[in-house]
Amino acid sequence: MGKNGLSWRSCFSCYGKVRDSPSPGRDEKRTTRQKSQRGRSPQQLSSSDLSNVTSLFSPEDLSLSLAGSNIYSFTVAELKAVTQNFSTSHLIGEGGFGQVYKGYVDDKLRPGLKAQPVAVKLMDQDGLQGHREWLAEVIFLGQLRHKHLVKLIGYCCEDENRLLVYEFMARGSLENHLFRRFFASLPWKTRIKIAVGAAKGLTFLHEAEKPVIYRDFKASNILLESDYTAKLSDFGLAKDGPEGENTHVSTRVMGTQGYAAPEYIMTGHLTSKSDVYSFGVVLLELLSGRRSVDKSRPNREQNLVEWARPWLNDPRRFSRIMDPNLDGQYSTKGAQRVAALAALCLSNSPKNRPTMKAIIETLEPILELADDQPTGTFVYTAAPQNGGGDAGKATPRGDEAERHREREPPRENGNQPPHRHNQNQGSRNRNRSHRSASYTDTALYMNSPRQIRGRAA
């Protein structure tokens, strides 16, 4: 963005008591201007100021501070209207922050506002996240613009109500597609495309004029557009990177179990390589179809990193970690490269982990290699309805196949033949009832040593 964006100094200089009356609706058209997608002014943001926040602020002053950022200020009444009073029929997910509803906005709500579906996140005042995370989200996404970051459209700060309004991501989270029972299995090429997109989002943050450490990279925070373009969401835990001669940022340990780098958990020292470790965990999830932590599995398999690490650099045995639902339809050479990359990202020494830019340079050729692989092709056999005659066969391909494929229990052999014949099962078509998107939030390391010592974030 340009240098005329939000300044933390202007934002925090106006702290005081929240007005007794609700924030009035603002009908004026926000200033529209082109925003650079690379970097920010060094004076624009210092998230360490959040640790000094002890009181709430004037919503009018926040709105003035965000002027020119194309972020709209809404009232509770307006957001109730676009979600039909936060109807349960519009509920699309919930997490540590609160519930998320689907709505629709247009220029009748604000002049110049693009007509589009939106996701409205309503803060649960008794939830795991609160005002500080809400403010961080507004500030970071109010200034950052990139193809692989979810777009913040607006916010609401009225009395004690805190809401966020985002662009609606039609395919929901990566977590749903990898782990939910009634979601079709992602083809190999789609998985690599998602990894590349997420890597580009992290690279943008790390290489901005004032670098940002995301701190909560995980499958549930990677949202997908209809074409599976990946975007990072939930910046409530994001931090500014180290400045000058500093090598790290010292902070209390917050994040999600199974994704946080070991040195960060032990010391509270946060660097961009902490994000790289988390990226390696997500790579393993994409390869294996397993969660980073799964208590339902045998003890030796509950932690994905510990279970998979011995196989990652073994070309003869790495197939043991591959997702059985891929049915062997992946480039063996490409999968080996991804496994080796994951091993580098998961190195116990942060210095040995690659940069996000180097990760992109490794993944993009693998995506090109995936173009030569079949994606989503299978054969199923439908049993005749009258009990006789030849069985009918259908062969969906590509996206059509993805809509028809069903998740199956894991099999012992990760490399299944590319075609499945099932003569006794009958039709695979089922009535599926699932929401089109799901947004989940952050689980905290509430009992970590750094948390207990109570160091400020």
Residue 287 lies in a domain: yes
Instruction: Quickly state the pLDDT bin for 15 (edges 50, 70, 90).
Output: very low
Q: What is the mean pLDDT of residues 323-336?
A: 94
Report pLDDT for 141.
Answer: 86
Candidates 272, 221, 264, 279; CA nearest to 242 is: 272
CB contact at 8 A, 356 and 279: yes
What is the DSSP code string of 161-220? EEEEEEE--TT-BHHHHHH-TTSPPPPHHHHHHHHHHHHHHHHHHHTSSS-EE-----GG
Same domain, 270 and 134: no
Residue 395 lies in a domain: no
Q: What are phi and psi for residue 210, nearest 5 degrees? A: -115, 100
Catalytic residue among 124, 216, 275, 441: 216
Report pLDDT for 282.
Answer: 98
Among 147, 167, 187, give the residue marking a domain's end.
167
The CATH code of the domain that includes 19 is: 3.30.200.20
Same domain, 157 and 186: no
Among 125, 152, 167, give the residue marking a domain's end.
167
Q: What is the mean pLDDT of residues 50-74?
A: 62
Domain housing 60:
8-167
d(CA 271, CA 163): 30
Report pLDDT for 55.
Answer: 45
Instruction: Quickly state the pLDDT bin for 236 (edges 50, 70, 90).
Output: confident
Range picked from 205-209, 254-258, 429-433 for highest mean pLDDT: 205-209
Same domain, 307 and 449: yes
Least confident of 134-138, 234-238, 253-257, 387-391: 387-391
Report pLDDT for 228.
Answer: 97
24 against 91, higher pLDDT = 91
* E strands, 379-444, in order: 380-382, 392-394
Longest Cα–Cα distance of the chain, Å, equals 80
What are the tens digits of pLDDT across the range 396-414?
Answer: 444 444 444 444 444 444 4
Same domain, 43 and 138: yes
Q: What is the mean pLDDT of residues 378-385?
A: 43
Report pLDDT for 83.
Answer: 95
Percent pLDDT > 70 in the chain is: 65
Same domain, 101 and 143: yes
Same domain, 145 and 181: no
Report pLDDT for 417.
Answer: 47
Angle, in degrees to the nearest 10, between helices 272-288 and 356-370: 20
Instruction: Quickly state the pLDDT bin for 124 (edges 50, 70, 90).
Output: confident
Q: Which amino acid is at 380?
A: Y
Among 167, 183, 213, give the residue marking a domain's end.
167
Average pLDDT over the chain, rounded to an integer: 76
Same domain, 193 and 248: yes
273 is in an annotated binding site: no
Tokens of residue 292, six digits? 């980073």
Q: What is the mean pLDDT of residues 289-314?
A: 96
Q: How many domains does the chain have?
A: 2
Under the phi-then-psi rule, with left for phi > 0, alpha for psi from -120 to 50, and beta for the rest, what region is 105? beta
84 pLDDT more than 70: yes
Residue 44 lies in a domain: yes
Q: What is the pTM of this model?
A: 0.72
Q: CA-CA distances (angstroms) from residue 73 to 26, 28, 65, 152, 236?
A: 7, 11, 11, 11, 19
Report pLDDT for 34.
Answer: 37
Same domain, 264 and 294: yes
Report pLDDT for 233.
Answer: 92
Same domain, 153 and 202: no
Tokens of residue 148, six digits? 């692989």
Residue 427 lies in a domain: no
d(CA 446, CA 93): 23
What are the tens digits of pLDDT across the range 194-214?
Answer: 999 999 999 999 999 899 999
Same domain, 47 and 87: yes
Report pLDDT for 131.
Answer: 77
Q: What is the mean pLDDT of residues 317-346?
A: 95
Is 216 a catalytic site residue?
yes
Q: Any bridge partners for residue 239, and if so which?
A: 213
Residue 241 lies in a domain: yes
What are the tens digits of pLDDT across the range 143-168?
Answer: 888 999 999 999 998 888 899 999 99
Q: What is the mean pLDDT of residues 332-349?
A: 96
Q: What is the mean pLDDT of residues 328-344?
A: 95
Same domain, 130 and 209: no
Residue 413 lies in a domain: no
* E strands, 235-334, in order: 239-240, 249-250, 269-270
Tokens of residue 398, six digits? 């590509």
Percent pLDDT > 90 in the chain is: 48
Residue 386 lies in a domain: no
7 pLDDT more than 70: no
The CATH code of the domain that includes 240 is: 1.10.510.10
Q: What is the mean pLDDT of residues 185-198?
A: 97
Same domain, 20 and 50: yes
Residue 88 lies in a domain: yes
